[in-house]
Structure 1
Amino acid sequence: MRMHVTSAAAALVLLAGVGAAAAEDVIITPEQDTVVREYVKKQPLASVKIPGVELKVGTALPDTVELHEVPNVKYRYVVVDKHTVLVDPGTRKIVKVYD
């Protein structure tokens, strides 16, 4: 009996982890992607340097980095090392890096 309870508890923990990971998935629709690309072209920003920060999805940007709004898109953008980066303003995590 004890083994069944332990197995069930382990399964619940695993399922909870999968649900949390799914909640963090970011889906940028093709329409949103087009809006971002067009807006960024029209509103160019100076590139900033952020020492010690790797430009990849999931990396959090420091609070010192100013994020800029894209109309009708929940994400914000900034240009880092000449790459436009789309950021979730709530977590400050990078959701997409444009080349």
Structure 2
Amino acid sequence: MRLYLTSAATAVVLMGGIGAALAENVVVVQPEQETVVREYIKREPLASVNLLGVELKLGSSVPDTVELREVPDVKYRVAVINDQTVLVDPETRQIVEVLH
């Protein structure tokens, strides 16, 4: 019985740790930030960079050759890749949002 309780307690701790690790990697882009980015793109259109074989999804890395544009009052940078606007974490160069 004691072994069962210890195993169950260990499983709960491990699952909690995994959940916390996953939660740390989740980026939430506020709707206000999306609005600011969309308005910025209308005022300051960006040329689309065509990248063959690049899948634009959350967590994908953006090559160093792609210029990331700073948007006032937004933590993330913006780029237009394959005619899609993406928000990119400037530290990791990973896509955090694909705007549709």
User: TM-score w.r.t. structure 1 length?
Assistant: 0.85
Query: 1-side partners of 2:35 and 2:70: how far apart?
Result: 15
Task: Return the offset for 1:50.
Answer: 2.0
Per-residue CA distance 1:52-80 (angstroms, 9 max, x = gap): 22011221212232211111100001000
Alignment TM-score, normalising by the size of structure 2: 0.84
Taking only the aligned residue pairs, the percentage that are identical comes to 52
Q: Does 1:89 align with 2:90?
A: yes
* Alpha-carbon separation, structure 2, partners of 1:33 and 1:22: 21
| Counterpart Cα distance in 1 of 2:21 and 2:5 | 24
Count matched residues. 99
CA-atom RMSD in angstroms: 1.6
Highest CA radius of gyration, 1 or 2?
2
- The correspondence of residues 10-25 of structure 1 with structure 2, limited to 5 A, is 10-25=11-26
Aligned equivalents of 1:32 and 1:86: distance in 2? 10
Question: Which runs of no fewer than 5 residues in structure 1 stay unpaired?
Answer: none
31-40 or 1-10: bigger deviation:
1-10
- Indicate the larger mover: 37-46 or 58-67: 58-67
Deviation at 1:87, TM superposition (A): 0.9
Q: Which runs of 5+ in 2 are unaligned?
A: none
The 4+ residue runs of structure 1 with deviation greater than 4 A are none
Q: Which residue does 2:43 correspond to in 1?
A: 42
